[in-house]
Chain A
Amino acid sequence: MAPNGTTQNGIDEDIDYSDLEEKYQVQFDEGFDNVVVVDGVPVIDPSKAEKLLARISKEFSKKGAPVKPDDMFIPWDEQTGKSKGFIFVEFKNADDAAYAISAVHGHPFDSKHRFSLNRFTDIERYANLDETYVDPEPEPFVQKEHLRAFLADPQGRDQYLTYRGDEVEIHWHGKPSQSEVAYKRTNWTDLYASWSPLGTYLASLHRPGVRLWGGPSWSGVQRFAHPLVRLIDFSPNENYLATWSHDPIVVPEGAQQGPQYFSPEDEGNNIAVWDIKTGNLLRTFPSAYPEGEDGAKKQQMQWPALKWSPDDKYVARVTPAQQISVYELPGMGLVDKKSIKIEGVVDFEWCPLGDKDKEEDLKIATGKSNKKPRENMLAYWTPEVANQPARVTLLQFPSRAILRQKNLFNVSECKLYWQNQGDFLCVKVDRHTKTKKSIFCNLEIFMVREKDYPVEVVELKDTVTDFSWEPKGERFAIVSTSDPNYGNPAPGITIKTDVSFYGLERSKGNFKLLRTLPGRTSNTIRWSPKGRHVVLGTVGSTSKSELEFWDLDFNNDDISKREVHKDESGNGIQHLGTGDHYAVTDVEWDPSGRYLATSASAWRHTIENGYAIWDFRGQEIEKQILDRFKQLLWRPRPPTLLTKEQQRQIRRNLKEYSRQFDEEDAAEESNISAELIAQRKRLVDEWNAWRLRCKEEMGPERVRGPAAKLEQEDEDKEEIEVWVDEVIEQIEEEVAE
């Protein structure tokens, strides 16, 4: 098909290759890059020159930078006849010269002389340097955006993020009139989006790494170059970030260097820890897979692989069956240079800090209290190994003192659940009977705030599938099942479950069953972040998708009283409402505990993707069915800055506030409806005008057309009256006279 050769040549000649030639031109060394000035050479007479050069040549060779004496040149002082104390050395090329500088520089020649090597070109440059000091231009101060500006919203609305298709949207959520899209951007993230735990940053994941965004204009705040990153985890106080990629780190040649980038030492690792404020890389780790080298890939990796202490002081990771390694932040050095060796350790959890602990810490930090700072605490468990019972241990850190240990028998699995204030630790122990045929469950509850850490045991006959503490509360809910289908997932089968609420009996100091809701299908418990309300959901089932809204303090309406004596009888447990979100995959409360969002994500299935927002009573407020809907995330809020006293004040004046809000609502409503009416009025006017124009355009004859026809028809119409005389029955009666 190609045209003949001559024309091709012709084309060739026409093309201007100068740019390519320029680009690929071989650069010959033309300068003095390969010449090095060696200072600190003994001053000698010409007679000793040969000997000296031979000696120097030897010294250089020893260091791996061989030079021939011929390539060295000694400049002579013509007045004294002696050498000037430095020599020039010419190397084959600039690379050799650079190597010689690094190898020989500072080399002691003898007791009096020490070589100092410089590039010839450098000497020239430094000689020509402008000696006068010029003040560096100070960088103009740029006011950064307030990263928590969203908290200053005059209407006090919460935000949530939706990710659909390629589009990420940030919504304001308030009353229907106040709900609006605050910001949206296409292709904001490649994998998924994530809020930091206090809501300051939004993280997006891309091929080259993670980016953090924030402020009212959603500008980029920080970036972390971790190629092919898949998972991220923020530290609780948003100081640090851990990232994980399935692909081990590779540092290609010519990669950017610096504190924010991987260096060759990091190659082959999967996990990286970063400082969020500076963007610096702190340390990298290889992924730790649970035991079993062959099945390592098959077993699911634990994430978060690194667990942060609640005060951001330490980060720890577990090497299964061997040890827990705790690193201090931000130096990332192993604390006391040794790990905590625990044979068989499976999992551990840090004890969270309660509000009181945080206040205490703040007092200590500001010098208002001279109490000793509280040490961190962690809990871990070890399974039964070689004649040793399984064990749950509470450990203080950094003192490494064991606070409490409890032995357990016939354990097949343990799970650690801390109450969010760090008051209680519940260990859900799945135990097997001696025959190992059936499994039942024990809840071992450690009262962490009490002396000697007493342990309360709740024994259950069934398998517990979900456990959840009431935030800031003394109650918990469990989902248990005795369904024979449990553990054998089959399509169309929804496991029957029971949901039970337990509460602490203060007087006796044990946990009491408050109420059981039998014969449910719920498999998910979601406590409101403020406690009291709880939603039971059936998630991930193809046939059931019920949401039950419960109130646990229904009888105690007066909020101020509730704090004093909590209802311990369980009488206040009240069903508020039931909702149904078909094919729901995720259930999440908003930070205020007033609204609940449910979503059906396209990551799980493609039926009826979208989201719905409910109030705590189970009334549906909003429902959006959106194809390719992936994610809904409420923006977390940092803890309130108000003191206890101020909060109490607000609670006391709640009636006053609600009156104000009602007034605002009423004013707004009338405003809105006026707007809507005006808009509709405009539409009607437009429509009528258009109809009128239409009629005119159609011309009189047409307009008359149907009317004329009608008249005609009227004339044609003949009226038919039909009288139907139906004789149903005829009775003749003889009337006797």
Chain B
Amino acid sequence: MRPIKLMGHERSLTQVKFNKEGDLIFSVAKDSSASIWYSSNGERLGTLEGHMGTIWSIDVDSNTTLAATGSADMTIKLWQVSNGECVYTFDMPTPVRRIAFSPDNKKLLAVTDQVMGQIGTITVLNINNQELSNQSSEPALIIKTREDAKKVTIAGWSDNGEYIIAGHEDGYISKYNGKTGEFIQTVQAHGIHNEEKVLAVTDIQFAPEDKSYFITASKDKCSTLIDVESFEILKVYKADAPMNTAAITSVKDFVILGGGQEARNVTTTAESQGKFEARFYHKIFIDEIGRVKGHFGPLNTIAVHPEGTGYASGGEDGFIRLHFFDKSYFDFEFDAERTERAIAAGAT
């Protein structure tokens, strides 16, 4: 598996995303410009220039017409993907940590940071898909951080935009009604599997098949798989370093975790000791299957190709590594899976 190294960012990556078809990769980094790449060969299609600070998050709608970026300069910008023009800018009270389009593209959620005396929120904006430059600056919904909870670090939409799932700084995961913003339930997903003290939830990604469950990553060196409806923790994947990102693969029943020793401690250890590898775990058996080396800093973000043929990882080292799986990846089967498949084949 020979990776394509995408070298375009000058500083550490914050998020990478595939569009729905998987032909484009959207990436943002701390260097204030977003990039769009062809996934087939790693050529850069273009950059989105305009932000004044670190861009924390990027998302693209399901038609690949609009891209949105959330930045530390306290704005959200909407971009037309076809020509790379900024069509609208929302001003937010604080830096924007994470943004996500709702599955129907009509809404955009934004996690605003809890700084400068402002309370952290999940703000939902209406998106006008007809007239791109004519957006209403008034948020449709603001979910403030509950008084009994710590600040929200990450959020995302469940299937059909029914729920908003949010991860907190203290390892809790909360569920809100996606239309009314009403709080439904919360569960402590991190800090209960070991004795780690730093528990912030760093990533939430939904199952590619139907978004009915999701994976979380946390600084507590664990990752969990949670059912959206029952909000039960289904699986726990344990690593030996703080995890920054986690993704669920389609086609194969795997999950990919990424992270590594904290960036500020990196200078004190050898490269081989930093654990800067993408880790593959079996989704159901929770066994670690393998690791992919390459980055020389912690992995900040991982995105899986929608068709499950590859993945892209972005690291603190400023590089994106785009991998397409070899045949052996698809051939690999656990004994139990093989019998399962044999039975299924026999039944049909």
The interface of chain A, by Cβ under 8 A from chain B, is 165, 582, 607-608, 625, 627, 673, 676-677, 680-681, 683-684, 687-688, 690, 694-695, 697-698, 702, 705-706
Contacts and interface: CB of A to CB of B under 8 A. Distances in A.
A627 B241 CA distance: 11
A702 B229 CA distance: 14
A607 B229 contact: no
A165 B195 CA distance: 11
B269 interface: yes
Interface residues of B, number: 23
Contacts of B340: 681, 684, 688
Nearest to A697: B229
Contacts of B234: 690
Contact of B212 (A582, A608, A627, A694): A694
A702 B340 CA distance: 27
A697 B227 CA distance: 12
Contacts of B138: none
Given A582-B273, A607-B268, A702-B160, A684 B337 contact: yes
B270 interface: yes
B184 interface: no
B37 to A, nearest CB: 22
B336 interface: yes
Contacts of B229: 694, 697
A312 to B, nearest CB: 44
B331 interface: no
B335 A694 contact: no
A680 B334 contact: yes
Given A607-B269, A684-B284, A698 B212 contact: yes
A627 B240 CA distance: 10
A680 B335 contact: yes
Contact of A680 (B212, B213, B285): B285
B268 to A, nearest CB: 7
18 contacts: A165-B195, A608-B273, A625-B240, A676-B335, A677-B336, A680-B335, A680-B336, A681-B336, A684-B284, A684-B336, A688-B340, A690-B234, A694-B210, A694-B213, A695-B210, A698-B159, A698-B212, A705-B160
A326 B157 CA distance: 81
B335 to A, nearest CB: 5
Given A608-B273, A697-B229, A702-B160, A681 B339 contact: yes
Contacts of A165: 195
Contact of B284 (A582, A627, A676, A683): A683
Contacts of B213: 694
A698 B273 contact: no
Contacts of B240: 625
B270 A582 contact: yes
Nearest to A625: B240
Contacts of B210: 694-695, 698, 706
A683 B270 CA distance: 38
B113 to A, nearest CB: 30
Interface string B138-161: 000000000000000000000110
Contact of B227 (A582, A694, A705, A706): A694
B339 to A, nearest CB: 7
A418 to B, nearest CB: 39
Contacts of B195: 165, 627
A676 B268 CA distance: 40
Nearest to B234: A690
Nearest to A680: B336
Contacts of A702: 159-160
Given A625-B240, A697-B229, A702-B160, A677 B284 contact: no
Nearest to A677: B335
B221 to A, nearest CB: 10
Nearest to A542: B268
A113 to B, nearest CB: 79
